[in-house]
Amino acid sequence: MSELLKHVEAVWQSVVPTLPGFTVEVLPSIDSTNSELMRRARNGLMEPVLLVAEEQTAGRGRLGKGWHSRRGQSLTFSLALPMAPASWSGLSLAVGVSLANSLHADVRLKWPNDLWLHERKLGGILVETASQGEAPPGARMVVVGIGLNVARPDAEAVAGLGGTPSALPAMAPAGLAEILVGATCGEVLAQVAPALARDLQAFENQGFAAFAQRFAQRDALQGRGVQLSDGTRGTACGVDDDGALQVLTEHGMRHVTSSEVSVRPC
């Protein structure tokens, strides 16, 4: 039995009372857990499912970036469930808040979808949605993909995962083992997955407002000089009510959405 499988029953028991029909699957290897659940969603899947992979061969992040995944040394999973919030704005930020709160007080959130530890990338978030004809009005199947370094990967292993030519260079990696000595992938899954399921339901009912204050407390960019991928420089001033990054530039305040640009401290 793999180490991950030892924790599946506990995760299922914790989640299923509030998420009927919930299932958990563990696969030894797959191209991408997000890609697989998106394929299922397009084929009519509407039941909530947590899909965990011991290894991903074609993991991916936002803006076409790759995600380096090693068996036993990184945790990669996706959680799919139907949702119909009044507004989708700020969903990836709410996911980040949930993960950071479950992991450690030292984990910070780099807008819009990265987890940082001591100024280095610890993990990433990829949120995708798919419509389905049998879903209730306004509902979509949401697939939330998570990649977390449990052990710290070699810098050379992520150097080639920059993605599109316009993307900024890959960040130096961090690993949970630096602060949670001896933690295993299965233990980390049991630590974060049940809370994530609950927080997604909270987001559906309350929106980003329920997470805004906690995001501000972990905002890694607040008050720092930043450079956008289009070359614009300014000072990060938190996020607005919709989760857009506020950047004070020489031309005034700019509200940046995650679909527009990447951001780095400078």
Active-site positions read 62, 121, 264
Residue among 236, 3, 246, 207 nearest 94 (CA)? 207
Residue among 257, 243, 265 nearest 171 (CA)? 265
Count of residues in the chain:
266
| Residues 74/145, Cβ–Cβ less than 8 Å | no
- Give how far the C-alpha of residue 224 lies from the chain's centroid of Cα atoms, to the nearest Å: 22
For residue 99, the one-letter residue type is: L
| Residues 61/67, Cβ–Cβ less than 8 Å | yes
Strand 233-239 to 245-249 pairing: antiparallel
